[in-house]
Structure 1
Amino acid sequence: MSNPREEFLAGERPEDVALFLADSYVSDDRLERFGDRVEGGVLIVVDGESGRNAFQAATGTEAMQFAKSAMELEGIIDDDLAGGQCPEAPTDEDHAVQFVFAFAEEQNEDVGGIYAEGDVVHAYAKCACGTAYSDKWNAADA
C-alpha cells in the first residue's frame, strides 16, 4: 500500500492520526491539498502532533479532550471514517457527522480482548446535533 489513508485504515500508521471534516462543517477547498476527497468531505492523515494541531485549528477543540468526552457514549462510526450513526438518533436525518478524529493502536496481546486480535482503530465523531460519540474496531475486520 502506498496510500496514507489506506495504510491508516489498515492499522499500519500508529504514529499518525486521521481527520475527517465534512463539507457541511468546513468549506475550504484548500483542505484537499492535505488529504483525500471522500464522499461528503475530506479525510486527512498526518503525523500525530500535526494532526492534533490541525484538529484544534479546524474544530476549536483540543483533540484528546474531545476524544475523552466522546468515549462516554458509544456509537457507530463508518470504517472509512467518513460517516456514522449518531446514538441519539434512529435515522441519519439531521444527524450527519461533522468531523471525526481517529488514531490506530498496534496489537497488544498483553491487554487482551480486541487488542490481542490485531491493530485497533479508535474513532471519535461529532454529530450535527452536538452529540460526541466513539467507536473502535480491529483494522483487519474493516
Structure 2
Amino acid sequence: MADFPTELGILVCLALLAASLWIPYIIGVNTEPEREGAADPFVRPLAQSEMRPWVHRAYRAHLNLLEQFLPFAVVILVLDRVGGFNTITYWTAIIFFWLRVAHAAGMITGWATFPVRPLLFIAGWMCILVLGWQVFASI
C-alpha cells in the first residue's frame, strides 16, 4: 500500500461519493407526498420546480460534483502518469475532497447559501487549476 499515492486514494473516494450522491435525490423523489392526479413519482418524477427544495438541491449537488469530478480525475491520472505527485498535489487533492464533501452536504441541507456555495465550487475549481499547473511543472 505504500506505493499507492494519496491523490489516487482521493480520486477513488470522490468516485465513491459521486457514485453514491444519487441516493438522497432518489429518496426524496420516492418520499414525495402524493398529489391528486399526479403520476407515480418513481415512474415520472416531478418537474424540478415542483420538488421539495432539498430534493432539488440534492439533484444539483450530484450534478455539481460530476462537473468537477471529471476534470479532477483527468488531471490526477495525468499527474500519476508523469510522476508529478508532490506535497502540493497531496494537499490540494485532500482540500479538494473536503471542499466537495462540504459543497454536497451544504447544498443538500441548505446551509451553504450565497456566497458560501459558489465560493466552495470556485475553491474546488482553483484546486483543479493548481493540479493542472503541477502537470506542466513536472514535464
Question: Considering only CA atoms, is the larger Rg found in Structure 1 or Structure 2?
Answer: 2
Task: Check whether TM > 0.5.
Answer: no
Report the TM-score when normalising by structure 1. 0.28
